[in-house]
Chain A
Amino acid sequence: AQSVTQPDIHITVSEGASLELRCNYSYGATPYLFWYVQSPGQGLQLLLKYFSGDTLVQGIKGFEAEFKRSQSSFNLRKPSVHWSDAAEYFCAVGAEYGNKLVFGAGTILRVKS
């Protein structure tokens, strides 16, 4: 069965600083990997996804993520954080067959000015 771990419950970064949110997954075959963002009181919006090929994927809002099979990781990065990036971020993994996603517990990002 798939599982996802987001080790950091909260992260605080200064505006303009770089950001890395960690995600580790457990799955025996080729995973489909996703990052979602949720603003308070809103639904989840897809930031980016990985299926195969290039292990560095670009998403919306200047985010990118790198798939590292050897480390079972799919960390989300942004070179320079903006105050509007403050939100909760969820990593999710899906199987090659079937359509259920398993979500991590989320990481709350706070941005200080």
Chain B
Amino acid sequence: DGGITQSPKYLFRKEGQNVTLSCEQNLNHDAMYWYRQDPGQGLRLIYYSQIVNDFQKGDIAEGYSVSREKKESFPLTVTSAQKNPTAFYLCASSSRDSLYGYTFGSGTRLTVV
């Protein structure tokens, strides 16, 4: 079955470390998205990519970086510049138009220790 796989499900980061969250899809979707979710704040867009080798900043891109070298993969790096990284991170993908909405992964919970 097609879908989106996020890994790991839980991730712990020490102060000053960079960590990378994985997102892989086999839906042949062109677009991929990263969202951050905090209690009571809904979904906030971090980065998105419409095609391979191209991506745009979302509303809260500071302290994060992404790459899109393959259509199937859109990893997110949480850098040490992100001062409050503890959150639930969701990856999503979609086709070229919004007719079918987004397909979401099951999320990664990142905790700073």
Chain A residues at the B interface, C-beta cutoff of 8 Å: 9, 32, 34, 36, 41-46, 49, 51, 90, 92, 94-101, 103-106
Q: Which residues of B contact A97 (CB under 8 A)?
A: 97
Which of B42, B99, B102, B109: most chain A CB closer than 10 A? B102
- Would B98 and A100 count as touching, CB distance under 8 A? yes
CB of B105 closer than 8 Å to a CB of A: yes
CB of B101 closer than 8 Å to a CB of A: yes
Q: What are 28 pairs between A and B in contact, CB < 8 Å?
A: A32-B99, A34-B101, A41-B107, A43-B4, A43-B90, A43-B104, A44-B90, A44-B92, A44-B104, A46-B101, A46-B102, A46-B103, A90-B43, A92-B101, A92-B102, A94-B101, A95-B98, A98-B97, A99-B31, A99-B94, A99-B96, A99-B97, A99-B98, A100-B48, A100-B98, A101-B94, A103-B42, A103-B43
Closest to A32 in B: B98
Q: In the complex, which range does the number of interface residues on chain B fall in?
A: 20 to 34
- Would B106 and A106 count as touching, CB distance under 8 A? no
CB of B50 closer than 8 Å to a CB of A: yes
Q: Known pairs A99-B97, A101-B102. 11 more at Cβ < 8 A?
A: A36-B104, A43-B104, A43-B105, A43-B106, A44-B92, A90-B42, A95-B98, A99-B94, A101-B98, A103-B42, A105-B42
Chain B residues at the A interface, C-beta cutoff of 8 Å: 4, 6, 30-31, 40-43, 48, 50, 88, 90, 92, 94-107, 109
Inter-chain contact count A-B, CB under 8 Å? Answer: 64
Complex CA–CA separation, A100 to B100 (angstroms): 11
Closest to B56 in A: A100
Closest to B29 in A: A99
Q: Which 8 A-B pairs have the closest CB atoms?
A: A94-B98, A43-B104, A105-B42, A44-B104, A43-B106, A99-B98, A34-B101, A103-B43
